Structure formats: C-alpha cells, structure tokens
Amino acid sequence: MTGKPFVATPARTKEILSKYQFTFKKSLGQNFLVDVNILSNIIRHAGIDKSCGAIEVGPGIGALTEQLAIHADKVVAFEIDQRLLPVLEDTLSDYDNVRVIHRDILEADVAAVIKEQFEPEQPVHIVANLPYYITTPILMKLLRENLSISSLTVMIQKEVAERMAAVPSTKSYGSLSIAVQYYTEAKVVMNVPKTVFMPQPNVDSSILRLVMRDKPPVEVNDEDQFFDIVKASFSQRRKTLLNNLTSFWNGRLDKDAISAVLEAAGIDGRRRGESLNMQEFADLANAFTGK
C-alpha cells in the first residue's frame, strides 16, 4: 500500500473520473461508492480475511476491489465495461493479488474461474455492489450453478433485499424469497443511504448477506416444477391458490383435479400463496409430481 487516499472518497473518485474523462452509462447501472466506512462494514459482514478468496461483480473504478485486496488473499473481479479496464489497472496498481476479467458475469463460467484462480478448499466469497437493473438474474445464476462458494454479500436495492430475505405472511414475501432461501440463509445486515454514491441513485440500498446451504431445506421431486408452482402461486397475489394454479395448468388439469391435489398435500385451496412456507410449497409441488 502507498500513502494515496482510498478510491472510495469523493475527492479521489472525482479525480479519477476527470483523469479518464469517464461518463456514467445508465444502461450499466453505474453508481460508485464514495464512503470507506460503508465498505469496511461490507468487508466485515462478508467475513473476509487473508484465508479467503473473493469474487467481485462490477468493480467500477475499484472502490470495493481495493478494500477486498487489502483484506482477502486474492480477488477476482468481473467487469463488463471495457472503458474501466485501464482505470482499474491504474487504481489497483499497488495490489498484486487482484485479477480483473473483462467478461459479462451472466456469460462467464464462474466455476472454471474459481477452480483456476483459487486454491483447492479455499473459502471463496462473492462480494459486490450489483447494478440494480440486473440484480436478480445475476444472483439466480450464481445460486443455481452449485458453485464452490461460502457466501454472497451484495449491495442491492433495499426493496429487493427485503423481498429476498422476507418471511411468509408479509408484504415482501414472494417467489423470489423462496428461490433465494432455497439455496441460502438470507439476512439484510445493513441499510445504505443513496447519499454515499456517485452519482446518487433514486433509491436506498441494503447489504444482503446470503450464506450458502449445504443442501436445500426441503426435498422436492422436481426442482423446475417446484419453482414453477411457487411462481404460479404468487402470479396474482390477491387470488387464492386454487385460482392461481387453475390458471397455471391452463386446462391441462381441471379445477377438481387441482383441488384433489391440494387436499392430498394437506393445503386449503382458499389460502393465498403468501401464507405458505417453503415446506408447504415443497409438499404441494411433490403432490403434483407426474401431473
């Protein structure tokens, strides 16, 4: 490390943006953090230390990357915006434990990168300030690929974080809550005001901590059908399970047959999706196996 101020200060960020005449691309959801205290809290909540590898998605100009480089053994960052590659080479020049990969995370073979870049058995954590417009596709890709990672600690839109960590019978609870919690234990660990970003986004953010489960908390016969039925159950929140599932089966199963399956699963068809916990959804999906 040198005596240079950290990237994540308003003055240094402005200096870097000016030096490279960088303009923000709204299409990439670029909002750079300019508060070192927030970054320190992210690192702490993520449990990063020198035994760990870290993967970052969308390093921007390197504010979080720098803090990860200081605290982790090695950092691999995926950056989609080619204009930022020379900026990162500059801002991270003091750190020899960072590898920046110019690739869209949605198209990357993350499992291969983990195998190639980190030691076998080394704990690997994903830590990122995710672009709001594509948060869910990125997280679901990373969760469904069965990667050798211990956790994900991500800064995302507050409302989305609340939905991912929500419990049954709350306004935020929905198919996204179940999809995320099937793979992880989810918890909102802190909220972040919009004032610590440059430029300021329109909404506040939260840090969501996702700890990978060794195995899902429920057993399902067919994962795809399980997620389809969960999604269908929330398709119109004010409708009953029976009505939503009748729309989902679209004539392939009639209402009486669906009622019989609900009864076999021990679930009242007059209930709404938001009242079911994950075990009840698993029972329901399993009861539809072969239908």
Determine the 3-state secondary structure of 102 from DSSP: strand
129 labeled part of a ligand binding site: yes
Q: Binding residue per annotation — 274?
A: no
208 annotated ligand-binding residue: no
Residues 33, 37: Cα–Cα separation, whole Å: 10
For 18, counting Cβ atoms within 10 Å of its Cβ (0-12 exposed, 13-18 middle, 19+ buried), the class is exposed
- The strand pair at 205-212 and 184-192 is best described as antiparallel
- DSSP lists the bridge partners of residue 99 as 76
Rounded CA-CA distance 24/217 in Å is: 41
**Burial track 51-71 (b if 16+ CB lie within 10 A, e otherwise):** ebbbbbbbbbbbbbbbbbbbb
Q: Binding site annotation covers 79?
A: yes
- CA 283 to CA 291: how far, in whole Å? 14
Q: Check the annotation: does 97 bind a ligand.
A: no
The answer to the question of whether 17 is labelled as a binding residue is no
Binding-site residue set for S-adenosyl-L-methionine? 31, 33, 58, 79, 104, 129
Binding-site residue set? 31, 33, 58, 79, 104, 129
